[in-house]
C-alpha cells in the first residue's frame, strides 16, 4: 500500500523532491540532514515518509541513504530553495509532487497522503502544512507539478534566474489549501530542536513505533507488519511455554515468513500458527494439572 490513494483519481501517482543542501547556519554549519534522531538520519526519516513516491529526488551532494534516490544540484550550488526546487523538479514526471525539507523528524506517510489527497480532491495548486502559529510551511507540501513549473518559468523570466529568490515569491503566485499539523510541521533548525525531537520519540507513546521503523530502515525492510499480532504472540509464548520462548518464537516466525515469500500476510499467517501452538501447549498443561488435582494420591504410603 502506498502513501497516496486518492479517492477521485486512483490512477494518479506522485514524485517527491527533498531539499537537503542548506547551510544549517543556526546549527554551526553541521551536516543537518545527517544528524540522527531516534538512531536515524533526518534525511532517511523524510525519505521513509515519502516512500510511496514513484521517483524521489534529493537536491544535495550525494551521500549514503537508506532508500534509493535520484540526486540533483542547483547551479550554482547554494542558490537557495527556489533554485533547488527547480533543479529537483526537472527530474520528475508525475502530475503531483511532494516538496519536503530534510529536517522533519515527525513527518510520516499518513501526513504525506493527507496532503496529496487534499490537493488531488480539490482545485487548488497545492496543499501546505501550517505550523502551530498558523504559518505556511511550503517545504512540507504537495503541489500540482504543472502549476509549479508554470510559476518557476514566470519567475525565471521576470528575474533572469532563480538564484537567491525566497520561497514566498514562488508560493505567492499559487492557490494553496492549508492543512494544520503542529507535529509533522516541526523542523529542526537549532540544537534545542534536535534535543526536543530526540526526547519526544523516547516518550512511552512513541518509542515502540519509532524503534520498529528504525529497525526496518536499518535492515532494509519495506514491510507493513501488525506489531500487535507479534506482541500478542510473544506474550502467549512467554506465558504458555517459558519466558525465553518469546524472542525465539518471534524470530522463527520471521524466518518462516521469509521462506514463504515474505510480506505482511506471510508474517500474519506464521504468527497465527505459532500463537495457536502456544495456546494448545498451555491447554495441555492445564488439563494435566486438573487431572492430577482430581485423582487421589497413588503414591505408596511412606508411613
47: pLDDT strictly greater than 60 = yes
Q: What is the pLDDT of residue 49?
A: 93
Which has the minimum average pLDDT: 233-242, 251-260, 266-275, 288-297?
A: 288-297
* Residue 293 host element (H or E): helix 264-294
Mean pLDDT, all residues of the chain:
85
State the cell numbers at 219.
Answer: 535492515
Q: What is the pLDDT of residue 16?
A: 98
**How far is residue 90's CA from residue 57's CA, in Å, rounded to a whole number?**
9
70: pLDDT strictly greater than 80 = yes
pLDDT one-digit tens code per residue, 202-216? 876 677 777 777 777
Neighbouring CB atoms inside 10 A of 134's CB total 9
How large is the angle between the packed helices 245-259 and 227-240, nearest 10 degrees? 130
Q: What is the pLDDT of residue 209?
A: 77
Q: What is the pLDDT of residue 291?
A: 67
**How far is residue 92's CA from residue 58's CA, in Å, rounded to a whole number?**
11
How large is the angle between the packed helices 245-259 and 264-294, nearest 10 degrees? 140
User: Which residue do the cell numbers 510473544 mark?
Assistant: 234
Q: What is the pLDDT of residue 242?
A: 84
**How far is residue 187's CA from residue 46's CA, in Å, rounded to a whole number?**
11
Q: What is the pLDDT of residue 245?
A: 85
Q: What is the pLDDT of residue 23?
A: 66
State the cell numbers at 128.
Answer: 501546505
Sequence-ordered alpha helix ranges (H) in 220-262: 227-240, 245-259
pLDDT one-digit tens code per residue, 243-259? 888 888 888 888 888 88
- Percent of the chain whose predicted confidence (pLDDT) is above 70: 87
Instruction: Quickly list DSSP for 150-164.
Output: HHHHHHHHHHSS-TT
**Positions of E strands within 77-123:** 96-101
131: pLDDT strictly greater than 80 = yes
Closest to 142 measured CA to CA, from 12, 11, 10: 12
Closest to 165 measured CA to CA, from 156, 174, 175, 153: 156
Return phi, psi of residue 189, to 5°. -105, -20
Say how far residue 277 (Cα) sits from the centre of its chain.
Answer: 34
Q: What is the pLDDT of residue 1?
A: 34
Neighbouring CB atoms inside 10 A of 169's CB total 14
More confident residue, 194 or 301: 194
Q: What is the pLDDT of residue 141?
A: 97
* Residue 117 host element (H or E): helix 109-121
Which has the minimum average pLDDT: 8-22, 38-52, 250-264?
A: 8-22
**How far is residue 202's CA from residue 188's CA, in Å, rounded to a whole number?**
17
Q: What is the pLDDT of residue 4?
A: 38
Which has the minimum average pLDDT: 55-59, 137-141, 145-149, 284-288?
A: 284-288
More confident residue, 286 or 61: 61
Q: What is the pLDDT of residue 102?
A: 95
pLDDT one-digit tens code per residue, 1-15? 333 344 334 335 899
- Percent of the chain whose predicted confidence (pLDDT) is above 90: 50
Amino acid at each position: 500500500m502506498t502513501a497516496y490513494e486518492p479517492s477521485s483519481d486512483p490512477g494518479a501517482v506522485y514524485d517527491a523532491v527533498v531539499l537537503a543542501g542548506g547551510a544549517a547556519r543556526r546549527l554551526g554549519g553541521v551536516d543537518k540532514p545527517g544528524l540522527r534522531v531516534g538512531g536515524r538520519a533526518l534525511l532517511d526519516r523524510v525519505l521513509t515518509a515519502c516512500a510511496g513516491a514513484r521517483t524521489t529526488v534529493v537536491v544535495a551532494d550525494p551521500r549514503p541513504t537508506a532508500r534509493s534516490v535520484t540526486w540533483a544540484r542547483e547551479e550554482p550550488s547554494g542558490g537557495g530553495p527556489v533554485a533547488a526546487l527547480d533543479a529537483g523538479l526537472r527530474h520528475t514526471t508525475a502530475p503531483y509532487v511532494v516538496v519536503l525539507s530534510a529536517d522533519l523528524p515527525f513527518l510520516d506517510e499518513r501526513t504525506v497522503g493527507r496532503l496529496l489527497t487534499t490537493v488531488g480532491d480539490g482545485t487548488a495548486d497545492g496543499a501546505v502544512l501550517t505550523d502551530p502559529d498558523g504559518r505556511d510551511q511550503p517545504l512540507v507540501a504537495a503541489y500540482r507539478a504543472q502549476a509549479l513549473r508554470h510559476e518557476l518559468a514566470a519567475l525565471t523570466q521576470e528575474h533572469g534566474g532563480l538564484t537567491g529568490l525566497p520561497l514566498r515569491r514562488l508560493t505567492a503566485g499559487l492557490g494553496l489549501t492549508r492543512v494544520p499539523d503542529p507535529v509533522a510541521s516541526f523542523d529542526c533548525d537549532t540544537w534545542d530542536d534536535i534535543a526536543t525531537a530526540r526526547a519526544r520519540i523516547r516518550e512511552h507513546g512513541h518509542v515502540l513505533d519509532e524503534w520498529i521503523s528504525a529497525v526496518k530502515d536499518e535492515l532494509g525492510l519495506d514491510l507493513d507488519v501488525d506489531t500487535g499480532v507479534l506482541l500478542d504472540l510473544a506474550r502467549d509464548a512467554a506465558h504458555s511455554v517459558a519466558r525465553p520462548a518469546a524472542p525465539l518464537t518471534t524470530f522463527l516466525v520471521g524466518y518462516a515468513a521469509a521462506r514463504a515469500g515474505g510480506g505482511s500476510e506471510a508474517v500474519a499467517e506464521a504468527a497465527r500458527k505459532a500463537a495457536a501452538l502456544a495456546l494448545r501447549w498451555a491447554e495441555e498443561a492445564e488439563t494435566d494439572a486438573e487431572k492430577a488435582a482430581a485423582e487421589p494420591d497413588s503414591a505408596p504410603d511412606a508411613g
